[in-house]
Chain A
Amino acid sequence: MSTAVFAPSRLEARARVLLPLLLLAVLALLPTAGLTPNMVRLLFITLVWVTSSLGWNLLGGFTGQVSFGFAVFYGLGAYTAALMIDRGVNPYLSFVAAGLIPAVAAVFIGLPTFRLRGPYFAIATIGVSEATRVIMNNLAITGGASGFRIMEHRPFRQVEHYYTALAMAALAVAASFLIVHSKFGMGLRAIKQDEDAAADLGVNPYAYKLAIHAVAAAFTGIAGGVFARYAAFIYPQGVFAFQTSVYILLMPVIGGIGTVWGAVLGGIIFGVVEEQLVASFPQLHLLLYGSLLILIILAEPGGLVGLLGKLFRRLRTPKGKDGDTDSGGRKADQVFRRAGCG
């Protein structure tokens, strides 16, 4: 976090609290502003993505463990909520379960996979994710390849879904900030940079990684559950797809890995753009994501938040008085952050 290096002014500190609240207020008022149902739907989907993105960012961004297996949690959350709501359980109660079950699964997946490091961990998560998809596709309870239709015996109100998603995303942002600024979060950041050094100073890397994996899975699982209730129809090849894993990883990378607002920004951009891309380039959109990923990692590993930060600092620094040590420091920071992300 390069922000810690430059002492923030009082104005900035205040803006840091007020701006998010302002954003929340705007989002809360939007549905009353006469948006079309399709716009509300798009915003709803975006908030679901933002929450998943924040979940992945806890493990991949703050702790440096790049997982390609978050579709497992998204899918498990979706199916947990779907099966419970279908049996008449209160939807909000079922969202709690949609967080808990993926969290438990995350611990069991983590037990063997966190014995591996870096790229080996990433590859193992692909294996777990694909195996889960195949199993789920062949279970009767998931509806198999023909999918699962959720019968909710309540009237459908789009606004209710929207506010549920908004509350979920807001809680995810708040929880992310709480985690990052806690002792737990400091341990995670230490693990990201040097697991062995962290262990020598008293951090238990294995236990910490298991714990944050569970929390991240809970975020993503609840997002999956909220989505499932809205969609009313889910199928294993959709929610458990490898593509879903890639989407969830792509968002924080676009926005700025390892920063809360980066994960949010990435989720928003992805949510707004994704459907357009699929509609315009039904065959090519995955190729576009791949190229985008490579471009970001090569050109601006800090994502959009990193890029904006640079522009902002450049605008603020008077011409000709650019602090040389400053820019050198940032450059080094970038390089090491890149190394830390693997």
Chain B
Amino acid sequence: MPEQQIYGFIGPNGAGKTTLFSMIAGSLQPSAGHIRSRGKDVTGSRPFRLVKSGIARTHQIVCPFRAMTVLENVQVASHFGRKDITRTAAARDYARQVLARLGLDRLADTLAANISLGDQKRLELARALATDPELLLCDEICGGLSPTETRAMLDLLRRIRQQGTTIMYVEHDVKAIMAVCDHVMVLNYGQKLAEGKPQEIQNDPAVIEAYLGKAGSEKKGSRIVA
């Protein structure tokens, strides 16, 4: 996989996108095959080790520490997810920086239970970012967001890529994927269906069939409308 790019994954429900992420992040163990990170076999590594080696994820279903403030949530990540930060004050400072970058600083002292879903999605991203990842796994970070919020989120992803982070991005919203990704892979029932640049994928007959059924592919000139 190329570094410092946004690598998108799409596919119908149950295609195995989230499962793939869980295996890479270490919360599920693959039943076959291996996971390699920069040539090193990391199959079966636990999540709390992988995150220190630079692999962080966000969750499709947000899971903030609800009884903690937004700042504390991110502080857990910067304190535990990085090898280079050992002091509490340093962890808090870094957490504040991440919050500022994501526009969450105004909510720093609010309980995570009391912020909106859009902000909770941002908080997911903030926590993952605070571990200073080289590979960031984003699972449906735009799910349930308004068009405006989605656009802001995608801009954020582009900026994160610019700063040198490689992103693997799963989203149901094909439009969002096509807008932001350098490279796209289509999954169906756990199998790779197609892979390529966003434009190539949109015209791939196998992909159109998986999404729209056989009838769709027979229609002349039809493509996934992005």
Instruction: Give A residues with C-beta under 8 Å from B.
Output: 1-2, 4-5, 7, 182-183, 186-187, 189-190, 193-194, 196-205, 328-329, 332-333, 336-337, 340
Choice from B65, B67, B75, B114 contacting A197 with Cβ under 8 Å:
B65
> Which listed residue (B25, B68, B110) contacts A190, Cβ 8 A?
B68
CA distance A182 to B56 in the complex (A): 24
Binary per-residue interface labels of chain B (46-85) against chain A in the complex, 1 for a CB within 8 Å, 0 otherwise: 1110011000110100011111110010011101111000
On whether the beta carbons of A332 and B113 are closer than 8 Å, the reply is yes
Known: A187-B76, A190-B65, A198-B76. A336 touches B51 (CB 8 A): no
Residues of chain B at interface, number, CB under 8 A: 34
Residues of B bordering A, CB below 8 Å: 25, 27, 46-48, 51-52, 56-57, 59, 63-69, 72, 75-77, 79-82, 88, 91, 109-111, 113-114, 127, 131
Are A193 and B65 interface neighbours, CB within 8 A?
yes
The answer to whether A201 touches B131, judged by C-beta atoms less than 8 angstroms apart, is yes
Which of A7, A186, A196 lies in contact with B63, CB distance below 8 A? A196
Report chain A residues within 8 Å CB of B110: 5, 329
Task: Assess the B72–A4 pair: CB atoms within 8 A.
Answer: yes
If A200-B51, A204-B48 touch, whether A193 touches B67 (CB-CB below 8 Å) is yes
* Assembled-state Cα–Cα distance A2/B56 (Å): 29
- Interface residue from A199, A333, A340 paired with B27 (Cβ < 8 Å): A199
Q: Given the complex of chains A and B, what is the CA–CA distance between A332 and B66 in angstroms? A: 9
Residues on B with beta carbons closer than 8 Å to the beta carbon of A193: 65-68
Residues of B within 8 A of A199 (CB): 27, 46-48
**A186–B72 contact, CB under 8 A?**
yes
Contacts of A198 in B (CB 8 A): 65, 76, 80
Contact B67 A200 (CB under 8 A): no
Partner of A1, one of B56, B64, B67, B114: B67
Bound: A1/B77 CA distance, A: 18
A7 to B52, CA, bound (A): 33
Known: A333-B111, A336-B67. A197 touches B79 (CB 8 A): no
Considering the complex of A and B, which 7 residue pairs feature the smallest CB-CB distances, nearest first?
Answer: A202-B80, A202-B81, A193-B65, A336-B66, A197-B63, A201-B77, A199-B47
Residues of B within 8 A of A182 (CB): 88
Q: Which residues of A contact B88 (CB under 8 A)?
A: 182-183
Whether the pair A186, B109 counts as a contact (CB closer than 8 A) is: no
Provide 19 A-B residue pairs closer than 8 Å at the C-beta atoms, listed in order of the A residue. Answer: A4-B68, A4-B72, A183-B91, A187-B80, A193-B66, A196-B63, A197-B63, A200-B47, A200-B59, A201-B51, A201-B76, A201-B80, A202-B79, A202-B80, A205-B48, A332-B111, A332-B113, A336-B66, A340-B66
In angstroms, Cα B109 to Cα A5, docked, is: 6
Given contacts A4-B109, A329-B111, contact A194 B48 (CB under 8 A): no
> What separation, in Å, do the CA atoms of A24 and B126 have in the docked complex?
43
> Whole-angstrom distance between the alpha carbons of A265 and B72 in the complex?
27
**Most chain B CB within a 10 A radius of its CB, from A5, A193, A328:** A193
Is the Cβ of A5 less than 8 Å from the Cβ of B111? yes
**Nearest chain B CB to A152 CB, angstrom units:** 44
In Å, the complex CA distance between A198 and B64 comes to 9
| Chain A residues, Cβ within 8 Å of B27 | 196, 199-200
4 other A-B residue contacts (CB within 8 Å) besides A7-B109, A202-B131: A201-B127, A336-B113, A340-B66, A340-B67
Q: How far is the CA of A198 from the CA of B131 in the complex (A)?
A: 12
Provide the bound-state CA to CA distance between A187 and B76, in Å. 7
| Chain A residues in 8 Å Cβ range of B67 | 1-2, 189, 193, 333, 336-337, 340
Interface centre among B25, B56, B66, B109 (most CB of A within 10 A): B66
In whole angstroms, what is the CA distance A336 to B52 when docked?
29
- Chain B: CB-nearest residue to A205: B48
A200 and B57 contact, CB distance less than 8 A: yes
Q: Given the complex of chains A and B, what is the CA–CA distance between A196 and B75 in angstroms?
A: 17
A9-B68 Cα distance, complex, nearest whole Å: 20
Cα distance A5–B110 when bound, in Å?
6
Would you give the shortest CB distance from B71 to chain A, in whole angstroms? 9
How far, in whole Å, are A333 and B110 apart by their CA atoms in the complex?
11
- What are the residues of chain B within 8 A of A328 when measuring CB–CB? 114
Residues of A within 8 A of B69 (CB): 4-5
Distance in angstroms between the alpha carbons of A53 and B51 in the assembled complex: 35
A302–B182 CA distance with the chains assembled, in angstroms: 50
